[in-house]
Structure 1
Amino acid sequence: MTLVRKHTGLFPSFWNEMMSPDWFGGVDRTNQNLPAVNIREGETDFTLELAVPGQKKDDFIIEVDDRVLTISMEHKNEKEEEVQGYTRREFWYSNFKRAFTLPDSVNEEGIEANYEAGILRFTLPKKEEALPKPKRLIEIGK
């Protein structure tokens, strides 16, 4: 698994934000190779989970560039067998690429990923200023 951080500009693309159906980017359901995704928000972070069973962590390429988290995977497999003078070859190829626009509240430098039991899980910590503040009492002055 490779995590690459790129920064190509100072300002996020306003046009891309306007065209994005939600803050985590759109999903094209016409491509059935896309893994299912769960997104949860906690008090201190977001959790992003992708269901991609049967892979190795080295199959994934993960990049963060200009508030966009891009996850891609490519897997090739080839099988050849000879049975009674006939040769049978089978080829499998699977890949996907998903991109998620990160909200301003995410600390890009603290993003962590792990792959276990077919689930690619990301922890996206919130910036300090986005964390909930403790309640305090304010006394009324004279």
Structure 2
Amino acid sequence: MSNLIATKNGTERNSRLGFSALPSISSWMDDIINTNFGNEFVSNFNTGITLPAVNVLDNDEEYKVEMAVPGLKKSDFDISLDNQLLSISAETKIEDSEENNNFTRREFGYSSFKRTFSLPETVETDKINAKYEDGILKVTLPKREEAKKKPLRQIEVS
């Protein structure tokens, strides 16, 4: 689970948004498979979708979560909010079969992922929206009015 807000639990963090400094186990496994077996093995092995890379952007008005997940349809995604926990998941099933006089070939695949994020209280949860375009899922998390950065104001001394 990733945090959009910093958490204090004794582990070192590499950003003010609270993402863990260590790579995920699935990325270590991908590195091991790609290094030790080469691309020939990976291209013939249905590994499904590993956890997609995520960018979290923080500006004055909103947070934006961008996730690279090419090859999916909008209907493949399930995005839900339970209290302050945002879950993004996708699931796809692929079946392919070919029949010839001498053989029958049938291949199928299943892939899925789920990413969860702890949202800060400053997110306007009723106004969260998502858009999927060109293989990129973008989830916009608007900030509450009181959390938005206010412009610099000069105060006169009387």
Provide the rounded CA distance (Å) in 1 between the counterparts of 2:19 and 2:125.
16
| SS of 1:129 mapped into structure 2 | helix
% identity of equivalent residues: 46
What are the residue-to-residue correspondences of 1:80-119 with 2, within 5 Å? 80-119=97-136
Structure 1 residue runs without a partner (length 5+): 1-16
Aligned in 2, Cα 1:59/1:24: closer, same or farther, shift over 3 Å? farther
Distance 1:95 1:24 in 2: 25
> What SS does the aligned partner of 1:109 have?
helix
What are the Cα deviations for residues 13-41 of structure 1, in whole angstroms up to 9, with x where unaligned?
xxxx6559665665862225111111111
Find the residue that maps to 2:153 and give its secondary structure.
coil
RMSD value, Cα: 2.2
Greater fraction of residues in helix: 2
Distance (Å, rounded) in 1 between the aligned partners of 2:137 and 2:9: 27
Determine whether 1:71 maps to 2:88.
Answer: yes
Range moving further from structure 2, 127-136 or 54-63: 127-136
Secondary structure at 2:51 match in 1: coil
Question: In the alignment, which residue of structure 2 is the partner of 1:60?
Answer: 77
Letter paired with 2:153: R
Give the drift of 1:82: 1.1
Counterpart of 1:128 in structure 2 is 145
Q: CA deviation at 1:49?
A: 0.5
- Write out the 4+ residue segments of structure 1 that deviate beyond 3 Å after TM superposition: 17-28
Task: Name the aligned partner's letter for residue 149 of structure 2.
Answer: P
Distance 1:24 1:96, change over 3 A: farther
Q: What SS is found at the alignment partner of 1:106?
A: coil
TM-score, length of structure 1 as denominator length: 0.78
SS state at 2:26 partner: coil
